[in-house]
Chain A
Amino acid sequence: MLISSRLVNRIPPSGIRKFFDLLASIEGVISLGIGEPDFATPWHIREAAIYSLEKGYTMYTSNSGMPELRQELSRYLKAHYKLNYDPDSELLITVGVSEGLDLTMRAILDPGDEVIIPDPHYVSYDACVILAGGTPIMVPTNQESNFEISAADIEARVTDKTKAILIGYPANPTGAVMPREKLAQIAEVAWRHQLLVISDEIYARLVYGVEHTCFATLPEMKESTILLGGFSKAYAMTGWRIGYAAADKEVIASMTKIHQYTMLCASIMGQVAAIEALKSGESSIAEMVEEYNRRRLAMVQGLNDIGLSCFEPRGAFYAFPSIKSTGMTSEEFAEKLLIEEKVAAVPGPAFGQCGEGYIRCCYATSLADIEEALSRMGRFVNKHKRG
């Protein structure tokens, strides 16, 4: 008897399982493999949640999320992007962007529908498409073009089965940020072919010296964009699991239908914390961004100095250096680096085929650790120099 469904079997197994197990067995590792802030959630947010627990806020909330949170969110999107979303029909509070992505795919895809995705991309993009019965279509991106996805490359892959384009900028794993004019070109393609655009903007607030463009703000794009965002990265709230979807009311209604049967609602503690974050979290974001930026500069400069060429990431908290000069595969490099120098980084192919030849280094860790990791990596690269 086959236990797993055909659908589940279609999802590629994680190529780095072995790497994770190895990592768990080694002591004294400096990890650059962590995709989350190293700050704890700002105290005023934690305090608000503790207070709500003391008051007895421990029950379910409305399926769509607490009305106050949706109102605050609507205000936030208006203030930041001049976008008007009706809190009652165009916003849904999800369990992180992860659930938002899953709901989106299940709400919009029929079997065989195609979704265009940049490669490399966040690990769950293709898996969510497959689980919803769709087919992910990859668009290669590369270091030479700053890991930006081009409208022409997208258009070349549009078929009569294409339903949507799924992008996530600022990007995990590359740190790439798309300039507004390039996003506008993608918007044109979407408009011409009547495609939905799912824009994962979880890293929207973590940009350095450039401006983030919210895809829904592009001309004619609000109706056809499903904007996914959340609190994890900007407010250092990964463990609270609170995200949101902002979209046309028909899409939100479909997503809410699935959400109410499968999740009921996001946790009330997390939602209370999110309200506090929206009300008074701005200064905490500014402080964290300033700190990340210092580490970003140190990381990128350091990687280039030791001979791992790295394009300058302008968003998120990842550097994505090329390790091609060593002649090793990404997995080989990451595994040897871990064993020989006790530094953990994630091999690029975890994020798609185009990640081969790269590793992802997260700089959301202390400056001292970044410097120690760089010095160990420098020694490692030197030792394995080709020729």
Chain B
Amino acid sequence: MIKDILKILENDARTTTKQISTMTGTPSDEVVKLIKQAEKDRIILKYKTVINWDKVENEQVWALIEVKVTPQKDVGFDSIAERIYLFPQARSVYLLSGTYDLLVMVAGKTEHEVANFVSQKLAPIEEVQGTVTHFMLKRYKEDGEILEGKEEVKRQPVIL
């Protein structure tokens, strides 16, 4: 049941308890209880909004940084990842397979600020062997949502 509720909330975090109750056939108080528990268990981390910032005057710059690191004894990549993700500039951090190890998504006000973060904070970390910085030029799709050019196709109002 919690899976059904999570899917509904993942698609629209503003779905009300009553709506969820109807859609899943679960009593409202049970829905409230399950959501509270999921929040407590950190299954639900946060309720966020997908925003197309390009439509608002906004100076934010995004970059994807490939980071190659030397894993440490006992803790592997985890402790070095933690050192990186604790920086607020690092918006997402992933461990990947392939030619580099960590992928860090960084947001800053200017390119300069992002470059500074990479050269002053990221690159000097002892275990970091090298970085490659990719600045994001355009966003087409964000977390399943197409940002632009999604035209509504009109259906005929009545079809038997």
A residues sitting closer than 8 Å to B (CB atoms) are 19-20, 23-24, 29, 31, 33-36, 38, 40, 122-123, 290, 294-295, 297-298, 301-302, 344, 346, 350-351, 367, 371
Residues of B near A294 (CB, < 8 A) are 8, 23-24
A40 to B154, CA, bound (A): 11
Contact residue among B19, B155, B160 (Cβ-Cβ distance under 8 Å from A298): B19
Q: What 1/0 flags go to B131-160 for Cβ under 8 Å of A? A: 000000000000000000000010111111
A346 to B7, CA, bound (A): 32
Contact A33 B22 (CB under 8 A): no
Residues of B near A301 (CB, < 8 A) are 22
A295 to B158, CA, bound (A): 19
B81 → chain A closest CB, angstroms: 33
A318 → chain B closest CB, angstroms: 11
The A interface, classified by DSSP as helix, strand, loop or mixed, is: helix
Contact B22 A344 (CB under 8 A): no
Contact B23 A344 (CB under 8 A): no
The chain A residue with its CB closest to the CB of B156 is A34
Contact residue among A34, A38, A122 (Cβ-Cβ distance under 8 Å from B158): A34
Q: What 1/0 flags go to B20-45 for Cβ under 8 Å of A? A: 00111100000000000000000000
Residues of A near B153 (CB, < 8 A) are 40
Residues of A near B22 (CB, < 8 A) are 297-298, 301-302
The chain B residue with its CB closest to the CB of A122 is B160
Residues of A near B23 (CB, < 8 A) are 294-295, 297-298
Contact residue among A35, A302, A344, A371 (Cβ-Cβ distance under 8 Å from B160): A35
Size category of the B interface is 10 to 19
B76 → chain A closest CB, angstroms: 34
Residues of A near B159 (CB, < 8 A) are 33-36
Extra contacts, 5 of them, besides A33-B158, A40-B153, A367-B19 (Cβ < 8 A), are A29-B157, A31-B157, A31-B158, A302-B22, A344-B158
Residues of B near A297 (CB, < 8 A) are 22-25
Most buried by A among B8, B25, B157: B157
The chain B residue with its CB closest to the CB of A350 is B160
Contact residue among B8, B156, B160 (Cβ-Cβ distance under 8 Å from A123): B160
B127 → chain A closest CB, angstroms: 41
B95 → chain A closest CB, angstroms: 28
Contact B158 A20 (CB under 8 A): yes
A39 → chain B closest CB, angstroms: 10
9 A-B residue pairs with CB within 8 Å: A35-B160, A36-B155, A38-B155, A122-B160, A123-B160, A301-B22, A344-B158, A346-B158, A350-B160
B122 → chain A closest CB, angstroms: 37
The chain A residue with its CB closest to the CB of B158 is A33
A234 → chain B closest CB, angstroms: 17
A298 to B42, CA, bound (A): 29
Contact A34 B25 (CB under 8 A): no
Contact A23 B158 (CB under 8 A): yes
B39 → chain A closest CB, angstroms: 22
A344 → chain B closest CB, angstroms: 6
Residues of B near A302 (CB, < 8 A) are 22
Contact residue among A24, A122, A295, A350 (Cβ-Cβ distance under 8 Å from B157): A24
A38 to B153, CA, bound (A): 9
- Known contacts: A294-B8, A298-B19. The answer to whether A33 contacts B157 by CB under 8 A is yes
Residues of A near B158 (CB, < 8 A) are 19-20, 23, 31, 33-34, 344, 346
The chain B residue with its CB closest to the CB of A305 is B22
Residues of A near B24 (CB, < 8 A) are 294, 297
A20 to B160, CA, bound (A): 11
A123 to B160, CA, bound (A): 7
Residues of B near A123 (CB, < 8 A) are 160
Residues of B47-78 contacting chain A, CB below 8 A? none
